């Protein structure tokens, strides 16, 4: 590509190679795609109460959202509208730190996403095992995981528009039982239960991992930016609405569960909200919460797989992965990326809930550090660049915005178990070696690589931006 003629289009006119004929995603399904990439509802937050008690669980979600979710969502809004193409954070890091580190970002975030996706069949079965005990262990559990993965993978194959509207319907259905629980629980609420805390008996590693897992992945939507209708306006609005939806979907059920029922921390593990529903409303409400959990996990799975698959497609368009990763199905979906992501989910689904959360958090932390570095570097190097959505702070403000979440990252990394550290660092080393190996296969002609002709060069000279 001739870098002298490469110009970023005025941001707001997103482009996705070979996909202009495919219907773009509008704001409502986009909000629920973000909702499911980040949250999916309160299923999985129960361990925060077990780890730290009601007060710290409630405060944790509020404080963590302020120091982590808000900065990540703001940075995603600015960078995704600045680079409105599939690949998202891979493109940001490549533009700021170079293609080698862009590849490392892509590898760590894709692997983190696949590990995260392996969690949803596990959560689904944990909620269903009280009704169907055979799903707890053994061959029935394995068969169930394979069938669920196949079903969810097929939905992704059929197209992102379908995924978006399915996510919308599932989101409404998944949150409705908690509204009913709230109405039933009103006469039984005892606010003093919300204030229960035992600072001498806190599992800080579990507590922080649960908070971190439930409030991150705001940047995942950036890998679909090329599929969004009018991204310069739609993405920032969708992130804002999704932030409100996610926090409400956590705080409200926790207030109900800890305020209406005497708290036995040992019982608060994934799946416990269905038991609270039974205590408050009977078997029918437990069944509804279990069904909502099942469908919520379906929504989280398809949203995360979409992000992972389109990320691989975006990397192929940038020449970071072999060209076949850019191939599309007849529905315009990244077929190879979907299959690779599904295979990873199956391989990792044998891990436990807590192991999955810790492992994906560790890798995710590495990726977020590079995103913060890219955000700050582009602010310093190209302060006048066209940014359709710009966080209303200067360079110093941009740096300060990244300090609290970066400190939190170091805390999460320090609290990881030795097993998680070793496996995660091994995964990072694989990525460091994989990139030069792929370049070698390109040089030898063993695999075909290509850069999409309608994407601008990322070796940013000043004229690559629309500067005033």
- The tens digit of pLDDT for each residue in 109-149 reads 998 888 877 777 777 777 666 667 776 667 777 788 788 78
* Residues in Cβ contact with 111 at an 8 Å cutoff, skipping those fewer than 6 apart: 344, 363, 427, 431
Indicate if the alpha-carbon torsion angle 94, 97, 98, 102 is positive or negative.
negative
Q: Is 40 in contact with 297 (CB distance < 8 Å)?
A: yes
- Tokens for 382, please give them: 């190209």
392 class by beta-carbon count within 10 Å (0-12 exposed, 13-18 middle, 19+ buried): exposed
What pLDDT sits at residue 417?
Answer: 80
Residue ranges for the chain with pLDDT beneath 50: 1-21, 460-468
**H or E element: which one contains 179?**
helix 160-185
pTM of the model: 0.83
- DSSP secondary structure string for all residues of 336-394: HHHHHHHHHHHHHTTS-HHHHHHHHHHHHHHHHHHHHHHHHHHHHH-TTS--SS--S--
27-444 carries CATH number 1.20.1740.10? yes
- The tens digit of pLDDT for each residue in 150-209 reads 887 887 787 777 778 888 888 898 899 999 999 999 999 999 999 998 888 999 888 988
Q: How far apart are CA 65 and CA 109, in angstroms?
A: 21
**Which residue matches tokens 């044998």?**
350
Neighbours of 463 (CB within 10 A): 13
What pLDDT sits at residue 355?
Answer: 65
Strands (E) across 221-298 are located at none
What pLDDT sits at residue 457?
Answer: 66
Q: How far apart are CA 159 and CA 437, in angstroms?
A: 32
What pLDDT sits at residue 467?
Answer: 37
- What letter does residue 66 receive in the DSSP assignment? I
Please give the backbone phi and psi of residue 25, each rounded to the nearest 5 degrees, phi first: -85, 130
What pLDDT sits at residue 351?
Answer: 62
Q: How far apart are CA 353 and CA 75, in angstroms?
A: 29
Q: How far apart are CA 299 and CA 263, in angstroms?
A: 30
Q: How far apart are CA 288 and CA 460, in angstroms?
A: 53
What pLDDT sits at residue 415?
Answer: 80
Q: How far apart are CA 327 and CA 253, in angstroms?
A: 42
**CA dist 458 to 1, 62, 90, 397, 414, Å?**
10, 38, 11, 25, 34
What pLDDT sits at residue 158?
Answer: 77
């Amino acid at each position: 590509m001739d870098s002298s003629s490469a110009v970023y289009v005025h941001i707001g006119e997103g482009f996705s190679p070979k996909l202009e004929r495919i219907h773009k995603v509008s704001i409502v399904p986009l909000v629920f795609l973000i909702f499911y990439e980040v949250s999916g509802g309160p299923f999985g937050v129960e361990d925060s109460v077990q780890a730290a008690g009601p007060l710290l669980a409630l405060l944790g979600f509020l404080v963590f959202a302020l120091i982590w979710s808000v900065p990540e969502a703001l940075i995603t809004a600015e960078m995704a509208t600045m680079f409105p193409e599939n690949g998202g954070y891979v493109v940001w890091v490549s533009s700021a730190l170079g293609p080698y580190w862009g590849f490392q970002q892509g590898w760590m975030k894709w692997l983190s996403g696949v590990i995260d996706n392996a969690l949803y069949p596990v959560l689904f079965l944990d909620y269903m095992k009280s009704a169907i005990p055979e799903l707890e262990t053994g061959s029935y559990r394995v068969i169930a995981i394979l069938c669920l993965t196949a079903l969810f993978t097929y939905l992704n194959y059929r197209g992102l528009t379908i995924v978006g509207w399915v996510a919308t319907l599932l989101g409404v259905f998944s949150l409705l039982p908690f509204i009913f629980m709230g109405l039933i629980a009103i006469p039984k609420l005892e606010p003093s239960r919300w204030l229960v805390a035992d600072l001498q008996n806190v599992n800080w590693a579990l507590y922080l991992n649960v908070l971190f897992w439930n409030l991150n992945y705001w940047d995942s939507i950036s890998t679909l930016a090329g599929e969004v209708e009018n991204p310069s306006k739609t993405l920032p609005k969708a992130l804002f609405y999704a932030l409100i939806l996610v926090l409400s979907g956590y705080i409200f059920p926790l207030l109900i569960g800890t305020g209406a029922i005497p708290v036995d921390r040992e019982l608060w593990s994934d799946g416990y909200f269905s038991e609270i529903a039974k205590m408050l409303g009977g078997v029918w409400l437990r069944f509804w919460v279990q069904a909502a959990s099942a469908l919520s996990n379906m929504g989280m799975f398809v949203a995360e797989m979409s992000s992972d698959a389109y990320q691989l497609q975006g990397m192929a368009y940038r020449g970071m992965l072999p060209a076949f990763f850019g191939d599309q199905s007849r529905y315009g979906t990244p077929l190879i990326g979907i299959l690779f992501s599904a295979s990873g989910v199956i391989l990792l689904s044998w891990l436990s809930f807590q192991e999955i959360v810790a492992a994906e958090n560790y890798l995710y932390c590495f990726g977020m550090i590079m995103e913060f570095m890219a955000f700050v570097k582009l602010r310093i190097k190209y302060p006048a660049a066209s940014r359709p959505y710009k966080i209303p702070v200067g360079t110093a403000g941009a740096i300060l915005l990244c300090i609290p979440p970066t400190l939190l990252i170091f805390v999460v990394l320090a609290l990881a178990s030795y097993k998680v550290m070793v496996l995660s660092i091994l995964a990072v080393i694989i990525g460091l070696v994989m990139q030069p190996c792929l370049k070698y296969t390109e040089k030898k002609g063993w695999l075909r690589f290509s850069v999409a002709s309608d994407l601008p060069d990322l070796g940013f000279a000043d004229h690559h931006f629309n500067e005033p």
